[in-house]
Structure 1
Amino acid sequence: MFVRIAGTVGTAALVIGALLGIASPANAETNPHCGRVDKIGSTAYIKSGSTTIASVKQFKGCNKNWSYTYVWEGFRSSHSGTWWACSGVSTSGGLQDYKCGGNHQVEVWSSGANTLSVCTKAYGQLEWSNGEGSTATDRQC
């Protein structure tokens, strides 16, 4: 009897773990240009009024800095018109490596900036038919 209960509990734990793994947003941050990147600094948020509509993060890897913009589901589901997300790496010399996705592209990675030797911020922007918002992460040196 104990073996049967333990087996059932163990199977349930595996199923729950698998379901949590499927629900995890981790693969929303898989860089298509560099196999291994590490997040640096804090996440910044683009807002429309008091509503968060996108997040911006900075990563480093493959000897480059990367900016990443992700458009949140709440915005996507409530905006059927056109919208574009953009992402770039900002330095004291200006915006580098700025890239915009296509209409309704959920995530945008910059192309990678050769800026590891200077201080940088990730910059993200979201434009839609009747508005726009932008933000930058904290500076990383």
Structure 2
Amino acid sequence: MYRKIAGAAGIAALVVGTLFGIASPANAETNPYCSSVTQIGTTGYIKSGGANIASVKQFKGCNKNWAYTYVWESFRNSHGGDWWACSGISTSSGLQDYKCGGNRKAEAWSSGASTLNVCTKAYGQLQWSNGEGYAVSSQRC
């Protein structure tokens, strides 16, 4: 009897996890320039009409800071026009390492800023035919 309950609970947990996985944004977070990165700070969210449409994260690795913007699937599926995601590292000196992905690309990585010795935030921007939004991650020093 215990095995049946444990088995059913395990299956239920798997189903619930799968459902939440479908409802939450998937993201690759595979840096094309540095194979070993770690997220630092909290994620920022680009919004449109009160809904999250993209995530902005900061990573460290390979002796650099990296900004990453990921456009959520819900926006990609509902937006038929052109859009561009961009990422950069923000410091007290201004925006560095700003780079945009291609038209309708789901993610944009900055190319790496040598800023580990200063306070930084990841800056992400999403521009589309009739609007734009931006967000920052939390600051890390």
Taking structure 1 as the reference length, the TM-score comes to 0.83
Q: Percent identity?
A: 69
Residue of structure 1 equivalent to 2:60: 60
* Structure 2 residue 37 is matched with structure 1 residue 37: yes
Q: Could you list the runs of 5+ residues in structure 2 that have no partner in the other structure? A: none
Residue of structure 1 equivalent to 2:28: 28
Residue of structure 1 equivalent to 2:111: 111
Q: Report matched runs for 1:67-106 at 5 Å.
A: 67-106=67-106
Deviation at 1:27, TM superposition (A): 6.1
Deviations 1:18-66 (CA, angstroms, capped at 9, x unpaired)? xx89x69776111110010000000000001211100000000000000
Q: Secondary structure at the match of 1:108?
A: strand
Residue of structure 2 equivalent to 1:136: 136
Matches of 1:57 and 1:109 in 2, distance apart? 10
Q: Could you list the runs of 5+ residues in structure 1 that have no partner in the other structure? A: 1-5
- When Rg is computed on C-alpha atoms for both structures, the one with the higher figure is 1
- RMSD of aligned residue pairs (Cα, Å): 2.7
Q: Secondary structure at the match of 2:127?
A: strand
Taking structure 2 as the reference length, the TM-score comes to 0.83
Q: 1:27 to 1:69 in 2, by over 3 A?
A: closer
Q: Is the 8 A contact 2:27 2:70 kept in 1?
A: no
| Corresponding letter in the other structure for 1:87 | S
Residue of structure 2 equivalent to 1:3: none
Q: 1:47 to 1:123 in 2, by over 3 A?
A: same
Deviations 1:99-124 (CA, angstroms, capped at 9, x unpaired)? 00111000111000000000000000
Q: Secondary structure at the match of 2:116?
A: coil
**Number of residue pairs aligned between Structure 1 and Structure 2:** 137
Matches of 2:62 and 2:26 in 1, distance apart? 19
Matches of 1:46 and 1:130 in 2, distance apart? 15
